[in-house]
């Protein structure tokens, strides 16, 4: 229907990402910060996206995706995560190195190539950070998750996903052999005990990036 250029795709993706693990709606200024653009640029794009029926927006209010917008957004996220999975699985990238490359390729790869990659990977359900890969129809399988920083002491759980927003957190965790699937018990704030009995101290930044089973 609508053309949806690369820039517009980034707006939709970012609006979607904000509500993927939280419930509150994103504000224009928060969107501007995430995208690294001026607030006035957001106002402009928001007008276009609303006119195309991809988001809803009351003046001076927050932003929400429509069903059509969510479909576009998940399509972009699907591309992004499949590309990340491919870069790690086949092209020798580490999980802290894939974000920027995927950020660009997600806007230029064709559906055909994407599906060829998907097939080669065996139709993965999660990307290297544990994030679910949306299906082609936009459905996303997302288990209930809690931020490690919000988990109660004594909680026994497994790592579900780690936000890829901060590469240094990813490198730090990789060095500690902590990744999606890692089982642990929270023995004290910021302290986890792994299955083999070893304990690890996690930084506040990491605890705010790690989502674990409820």
Which entry of a copy of itself, DNA, none binds 171, CB below 5 to 8 A by partner kind?
none
Among 45, 46, 76, 117, binds a copy of itself (CB under 8 A): 117
**Residue 110 engages a copy of itself in binding (rule: CB under 8 A):** yes
From residue 177 to residue 206, the character string flagging contacts with DNA as x (rule: CB under 7 A) and all else as - is: ------------------------------
Indicate whether 46 belongs to the interface with DNA (CB under 7 A).
yes
In sequence order, what are the residues at sequence separation of 6 or more whose Cβ sits closer than 8 angstroms to the Cβ of residue 147?
Answer: 207, 208, 210, 211, 212
Which burial class, exposed, middle or buried, applies to 108 when counting CB atoms under 10 A from its CB (0-12, 13-18, 19+)? exposed
- State the DSSP string of 99-157: HHHHHHHTTT--HHHHHHHHHHTT--SB-TTSPBPPPTTS------EEEGGGSPTT-EE
Given DNA, a copy of itself, none, residue 8, with its beta carbon under 5 to 8 Å by kind, binds DNA
Residue 105's binding partner among a copy of itself, DNA, none (Cβ under 5 to 8 angstroms by kind) is a copy of itself
Kindly tell me which of 138 and 167 has the beta carbon lying closer to a copy of itself: 167
Binding mask 48-77 for DNA (x = CB under 7 A): x--------x-xxxx---------------
Residue 130: which of 121, 119, 142, 118 has the closest Cα?
142
């Amino acid at each position: 229907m609508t053309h949806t250029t690369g820039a517009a795709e980034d707006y939709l993706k970012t609006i979607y990402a904000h509500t993927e693990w939280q419930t509150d709606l994103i504000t224009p200024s928060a969107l501007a910060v995430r995208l690294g653009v001026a607030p006035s640029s957001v106002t402009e794009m928001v007008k276009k996206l609303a006119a195309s029926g991809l988001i809803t927006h009351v003046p001076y209010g927050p932003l929400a995706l429509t069903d059509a917008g969510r479909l576009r957004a998940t399509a972009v996220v699907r591309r992004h995560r499949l590309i990340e999975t491919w870069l790690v699985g086949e092209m020798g990238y580490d999980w802290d190195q894939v974000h920027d490359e995927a950020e660009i390729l997600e806007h230029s790869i064709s559906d055909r190539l994407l599906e060829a990659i998907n097939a080669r990977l065996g139709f993965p359900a999660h990307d290297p950070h544990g994030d679910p890969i949306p299906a082609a129809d936009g459905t996303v399988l997302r288990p209930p998750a809690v931020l490690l920083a919000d988990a109660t002491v004594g909680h026994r759980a497994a790592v579900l996903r780690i936000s890829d927003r901060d590469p240094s957190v990813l490198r730090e965790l990789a060095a500690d052999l902590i990744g999606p699937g890692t089982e642990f018990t929270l023995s004290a704030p910021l302290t986890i005990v792994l299955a083999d009995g070893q304990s690890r101290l996690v930084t506040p930044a990491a605890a705010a990036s790690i989502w674990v089973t409820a």
